[in-house]
Structure 1
Amino acid sequence: MSLVVTPETTAFLERFRVALPHAQLLAGTEGIGLYALAHHMAETAGQIIAIIRPIAKTKAGVPSIATEAIRDLYETARSRQLKASFIIIDDADSMTLSAQNALLKLLEEPNRSTHFILTTHQPEKLLPTIRSRVQRFTVPRVDEITSRRLTKSLGITDEKLRAQILYIASGLPAEISRLSADKRYFDELAARAGQARRFIEGTTYDRLVIIQTFKEDRVGALAFIRILLLILERLFMRTPTRDVAKLIQSLIEAAEAIQTNGNIRLQLSAVMV
């Protein structure tokens, strides 16, 4: 399937092919399709020699990229290649601090034939020294018309289903595609979207009941916050208000605290204040 991107992203891809940077950072909203874009960029400009993605150490754990995964790249990254070669680090913000420091050593010793493409939904979580050594492009959402065209091209003819998918993921091609292809995933996100709507529009009691369901489910709580942010970001794009901006920031802070083993109920309850 071809990439679904904005004219701005198309122009960026042209610039990238003409002058390959040593390290490129792709930032954007989760579901925009950063990994697919990185893969496309690497394949059209050369060859992929390594892909690093976060791994959860336990079933209930939050996925991360360990130091060892980055150190394992040292020999590969420093080897001379006959053509442009790419290392993709997906969800680079999930690297531990020591992993980021290990990556920094590679970025400080550039190899002409080896290039890095990092993706992130939270660029501020990367070390300033890493951000200063990469060229950054923030991938914009596609517009509503393009989102609707994509659902049509994916064979979604049921108007109710289309409306549900667009409510959750309008502007996010990768998320629209996944929701269309994976019914189980759609059902899970649709349920979370219903919870998110009740959390936004419901009473204090409604919110407390929802928070209680995540008291021991760290991964579920983070997934719930992700849906909340998707909905609120769309709302803010249409009607920017100080209250919505404040709620978005509170949710981002809550997610960061929960990822680092903060108390789930305490962090979600603080969002209500």
Structure 2
Amino acid sequence: MKPIMHPASEKMLVAVVNNLPQSLLLTGAIGVGLGEISKYIASLRSVTPTIILPEKDEKIDLDKGIVSVDIMRRLYDETRTKAAGERIFIIDYAERMTGQAQNAFLKLLEEPGDGVYFILVSHSISKLLPTILSRTENLNMRSVSRKQSEELLDKLSVSDVKKRSQLLFMAEGLPAELTRLATNDDYFNKRSSIIRSARELLMGSTYQKMLIAQNYKDDRAATLLLLLDSTKILKKSIIDNPQIETIKRIEKILMAYQRIEENGNIRLCLARMVI
């Protein structure tokens, strides 16, 4: 099935597919649907791709797994086997590749097999080695338009005005995230809870803010969403009432986001941000 894409990004994608580079780096905002888009690229080449995902204890783990050097060694062996036609290997969550795994991938690029193509999927390319970035062609997928988001909600039969408003606040422009929120009540409730925490983080007392830091200290993924929601709330307030102080608050939150994304201590980073 064809994923929903911004028209400009779709045009670029078609051009790339017609002349597919050996290594393609697919980037974009979380929730834009990079995983589905990478598989769509393979389908346009009439190829069933092999998908590499993060693992922990030799099992796929999207929350805490990594793409290890052992996974890269298995990939190397697989690319050495002979096969008829093209083969496409999708490395999802490419930013989870360890340093050793990234170096192993570079060696793989030096000796590609015939008809072998790689698609790296990443929302955080700052974690990839500069040498990988220089040897891959980057295709950035833009967030879709408000109209496309509205049309998707129509297709998903979301008619309640309040629910539509909530969904668009959470994930306007992000079709994969919009679909998940609209079709998974548990996930929607979890995200709603995080947004409530984000509002409290911005407007609550110091005690309430420190309590949030305590509550989120063991969940890195939820903390990152908390900070993104906080910046989203502030950005919307800038439209109505532009203030330098608000911009400074956003910068402070983004700095905390970067530190936590780089495995900084969650409670300490949040505490520094709110004090």
TM-score by length of 1: 0.89
Q: Which stretch has the larger CA shift, 263-272 or 164-173? A: 263-272
Query: CA 1:136–1:127 in 2, change beyond 3 Å: closer, same or farther?
Result: same
**Structure 2 counterparts to residues 118-137 of structure 1, below 5 A:** 118-137=120-139
**Other-structure match for 2:223:** 224
Once the two structures are TM-superposed, the CA of residue 249 in structure 1 deviates from its matched residue by 2.7
Q: 8 Å contact 1:42–1:86 — kept in the other structure?
A: yes
Query: CA 1:248–1:84 in 2, change beyond 3 Å: closer, same or farther?
Result: farther
Instruction: Give secondary structure in 1 for the equivalent of 2:251.
Output: helix
Once the two structures are TM-superposed, the CA of residue 82 in structure 1 deviates from its matched residue by 2.6
Percent identity at matched positions?
33
**Other-structure match for 2:33:** 33
Instruction: Give secondary structure in 1 for the equivalent of 2:138.
Output: strand
Q: 8 Å contact 2:53–2:62 — kept in the other structure?
A: no
Q: Distance in 2 between matches of 1:255 and 1:102?
A: 27
Instruction: Give secondary structure in 1 for the equivalent of 2:55.
Output: coil
Q: Distance in 2 between matches of 1:166 and 1:61?
A: 25
**Structure 2 counterparts to residues 199-238 of structure 1, below 5 A:** 199-215=201-217, 217=218, 220-230=219-229, 232-233=231-232, 236=235
Query: CA 1:77–1:200 in 2, change beyond 3 Å: closer, same or farther?
Result: farther
Once the two structures are TM-superposed, the CA of residue 200 in structure 1 deviates from its matched residue by 2.4
- What is the aligned-residue RMSD (CA, Å)? 2.4
Q: Distance in 1 between matches of 2:147 and 2:230?
A: 18
**Other-structure match for 2:23:** 23
**Other-structure match for 1:195:** 197
Q: Distance in 1 between matches of 2:85 and 2:233?
A: 42
State the Cα deviation string for residues 105-135 of structure 1 (Å, max 9, x = none): 1112223401000111110100111111100
Tell me how many residue pairs correspond in the alignment: 267
Q: Distance in 2 between matches of 1:32 and 1:133?
A: 24
Q: Distance in 1 between matches of 2:254 and 2:145?
A: 24
Once the two structures are TM-superposed, the CA of residue 49 in structure 1 deviates from its matched residue by 4.3
Q: 8 Å contact 2:39–2:49 — kept in the other structure?
A: no
**Other-structure match for 1:48:** 48
Once the two structures are TM-superposed, the CA of residue 142 in structure 1 deviates from its matched residue by 0.9
**Structure 2 counterparts to residues 250-265 of structure 1, below 5 A:** 250-257=255-262, 259=263, 262-265=264-267
Q: 8 Å contact 2:79–2:113 — kept in the other structure?
A: yes
* 123, 138, 150: which one aligns with 2:140: 138
Query: CA 1:248–1:171 in 2, change beyond 3 Å: closer, same or farther?
Result: farther
Q: 8 Å contact 1:180–1:186 — kept in the other structure?
A: yes
Instruction: Give secondary structure in 1 for the equivalent of 2:89.
Output: strand
Structure 1: state its 5+ residue gaps.
Answer: none
Q: Distance in 1 between matches of 2:129 and 2:170?
A: 31
Q: Distance in 1 between matches of 2:234 and 2:48?
A: 38
Instruction: Give secondary structure in 1 for the equivalent of 2:88.
Output: strand
**Other-structure match for 2:75:** 73
